[in-house]
Structure 1
């Protein structure tokens, strides 16, 4: 196997314990060269610990961390060719933007003329060529974040690690920086490992996402697969909104029954199973609307309606007491006539549901 075909990063059975606490447990993960990979999880899930193990700021209790096929257990952080961007930017307040960006080069003994050339190129990459003489206090949060990014890229690292880098920015700036980060990553072809707790951020930016909880890596897949085919109840609930419904298996898993209504499945499932229904896949119809005999529709009662601007989020209760969420957009049949207590019909197409093994109460 050539060096080019090796993963940029490989975690092989990596575990990290702090006394009796296991922060990362048996993680196996390969990340390809040039991939934008997001580690997604709530606080304490182990995602930042995994990042620190890769950066060299911590060491695994068990397992190996590999970069391009070589173990880096004995390699200090400054020799791993890794750039790191943190949420707080960590800029030197007494240095200008250009001086902050130049600092990694100065520490590596790069000469003045080459240093200036590479600093100018890095500032140009993040669209800050006119702010090189500014101090951090004179710059906005978004500009400081760009300086931190330029500093992490100026020495030409093979891998860029980013730990909640947009967390301190408002929504508009976060959206702008997401686009900028993707542009820069494509332009440089660099491998990016991006830690976040923001699911929409991960979905918008990553080629693949790894979902972490309790130190374990629960599922690794592209955003569409993670969303449409979650591997567990936890993943289904963590990515977007959904309803997880208990159903009765029919015809050896070829279909199911819920609250008196029957529906088929595209592929047979092993019982017992639950179904995952996303609110955007639920259609609401008037209760008295005639339907063909083979059309799936389950009676439901509206319990709550939330206005979202583009439409309404509707909380429903099925006849068997289970809860169901639905999105009703402007122009939909029931838009404007959504009232708590009203009985409607809810339906969804067979291919829109995910099937999961039952895990206690959904």
Structure 2
């Protein structure tokens, strides 16, 4: 009991420090904490540290990512990510800029690990269910990606739903790609090598942009899709297996579907929001990541299979012990950080091989 009280006080004082302390505990101790908190879900293969985080969150009466109040959910997500922050990964040059796009002035953040060298560029679209998330919530991930993929990263602060229609959001993301291609010389992009990337909703936007731009001069050479949302219409077995007690819940999916698609009267099969139903021919080389304990796992695996069938060069990895959102845990989880570093290095090797 005293241990639980101590953990609670630590969490209240400094969530980041408490979480890092929790991460260092042996697996047996982590599992005992999960049991003491009466975590009601049985996920034996889930990383025991993540299981602790989920159990603590549930005990505090918090579930999922997005609540009924969307503006408040944005504030809370940004606030919670700030609470977890540690010393950011050092990158030689990090600059906040505004992209003068045809669709409007759009904030972005440019990361360059070696400003005097020409390097490829990865355009990154953050996750957050199309409703939440920002340049700041994914800053540390972008730093790790820039460092370990040894590439420039341009993180795009695209407009969010429900205030904006999916077609406008996608257009901004595509315009950022076109702008980068047009400014390849000024940005010092090596051989005009540009990839698109994103996690969750951002992975959706990345592959929608790749589909829409395939025949254009600024088409990306590669795409990095991290547990992407790909299919608003169908519900696969992983949806029912992992819809409760984890980062992304059934309630989250229902809210996102309503605010991103139904409110704007977009058909759930429209490739604008469900790229799994789009034209998959002649897409760029694709590095696709899924997490096993994720409602979106199966649609990612199916998309990987479909891309292979259409002759797309593909690398597919599934992180068995992880859940949705693990790239945002690198500041508190040694395992998540190691995996992000690993996937960043492997993506660059894959891209080099297939460019």
Q: Name the TM-score class by shorter chain.
A: under 0.3
Larger Rg over CA atoms? 1
Q: Whose helix fraction is larger, Structure 1's or Structure 2's?
A: 2
Could you state the TM-score of these two structures normalised by the residue count of structure 1?
0.24
Q: Which has the higher contact order (CA 8 A, sep 6+)?
A: 2
